[in-house]
Structure 1
């Protein structure tokens, strides 16, 4: 996930309390009601990258989605409001957004990897994902075995891009700054296929029946919430909330809201 370095100003949300925070403005400090250090008093500032439906997407003047609802549980635990910053995914994946104080955490449909863990800390997993292939309906491309000479789209700085680069032998890899551009390129035939996470691609084909997911690659990935290295109190709170959400039914409720079915996997379950 990455659209580029330019930040996008967003309007204040009445329900999710979306706050505009530009790069370099996170130099203040505060605490939550529970004493957890925060970038700004009274707010839990989340960095994400739009669009990544159904995890984060702008709907009118609001940002909504699975990740938004899940982080709202953390904000409620801390007795603060969640504010959301739309930022280039490269600045999240590099750890810069958290380490420079632009946000308290990153929730961006982000796969836990060793490379990323070297730059910032991750919560326990909160979502099971895998890579998948998006194609035009009826396309002869059913997997990556016959893409030589074809164009395969990927989203920059993602594990999907890494997977396609390693496995789409003989294909021309075309990189897009964000998910929406990748999906539209497949839809309009600019590329022959696209690789990204299964959750977002299945969401796309619901409203774009001229496209389909031809295969999943079973990469066994898990999303995590990122925080600045050493943010022990915040990380403990996030993990406690994730664990509680699985036992009190709130995780399943949020999952069903955004995916229309009960979750097969929940936080705390075996990987």
Structure 2
């Protein structure tokens, strides 16, 4: 990824400073703000002075709580959008199944959805997506005692496979002939593996990377096969909200051009893929 030195440092410093200062976290979906408003460039927002993001917690390293704040890769990228629009980001924790339908976008609860969400044809029927901001793969994580590393081995031994409900990981498992145990959140997926409810799970690779940074997890579980499903993440907006979608696209494109994206990737995800070094 090429960079433009003249823009790189100031934008990155501003982005990092904005994350804790601009973040307003609200559990649930209610809003007691001033009502609808308009951000820079005539971009409509559901609450004056704020860019309201629907997400589903926790989903590290994309969005999760740390030290009383919601942080992560998605949070940092959306903060760049908010910075460009001259507003602050506010985050609402909402059920993941609503991201398929765009319910909270259509009802005016949120301006955009950011939840490590794969762009799919089904979802594009209900929402408009930004340009892709992350290439994702699925990974198998298994208990060491199970002795398995691949989905084929799990199937052959008739072991229990888990996945997060309503995700592409769950869909992929079903497409491979599994009836996976569905968990409501990524934390629940990990807990299911820890407690022996399942013998292995399939979930986004960056999530597994984050789990394995914990020594206890690394001692108990083993990373199995990586499955390239061609998935790409995007932020979604209400159908027809072209001004906000264009603002999100610009923030992502600028961040990739000036080096900010790579720095945030290394901070929240890990080492850059070899193709981008």
Same structural fold, with TM-score higher than 0.5 when normalized by the shorter chain? yes
Aligned to 1:73: 80
Does residue 156 of structure 1 match 2:165? yes
Distance in 1 between residues matched to 2:250 and 2:60, nearest whole Å: 26
2:38 matched to which residue of 1? 31
The 3-state SS of whatever aligns with 1:70 is helix
- Identify the residue that residue 261 of structure 2 maps to in structure 1: 251
Check whether the contact 2:53–2:90 (CA below 8 A) recurs between aligned residues: yes
TM value normalised by structure 1? 0.88
1:221 aligns with 2:227: no
Which residue is equivalent to 1:199? 206
- Gap regions ≥5 residues in structure 2: 1-18
Show the counterpart of 2:221. 211
Q: What TM-score do the two structures reach when normalised by structure 2?
A: 0.86
Residue correspondence of structure 1 range 2-17 to structure 2 within 5 A: 15-17=21-23
Change (3 A) 1:42 1:265: farther
Q: Is the 8 A contact 2:141 2:149 kept in 1?
A: no
- Taking the aligned partners of 1:234 and 1:133, their CA distance within structure 2 comes to 36
Select which of 36, 49, 52 maps to 1:45.
Answer: 52
Alpha-carbon distance change, 197 to 229 in structure 1, aligned in 2, over 3 angstroms = same
Distance 2:42 2:235 in 1: 20
CA distance in 1: counterparts of 2:274 and 2:54, whole angstroms: 27
1:166 positional shift: 1.5
Report which of the two has the higher share of helix.
Answer: 2
| Worse-superposed segment, 41-50 or 251-260 | 251-260
Task: Determine whether 1:20 maps to 2:26.
Answer: yes
| Whole-Å separation in 2 of the counterparts to 1:178 and 1:240 | 31
Matching residue of 1:116? 123
Give the unaligned 5+ runs of structure 1. Answer: 1-12, 267-271
**Residues 188-229 of structure 1 deviation map (CA, whole Å, 9 limit, x = unaligned):** 322011011111011111111121220111101000000000
Taking CA–CA contacts closer than 8 Å with sequence separation of 6 or more, which of the two structures ends up with the larger relative contact order?
2
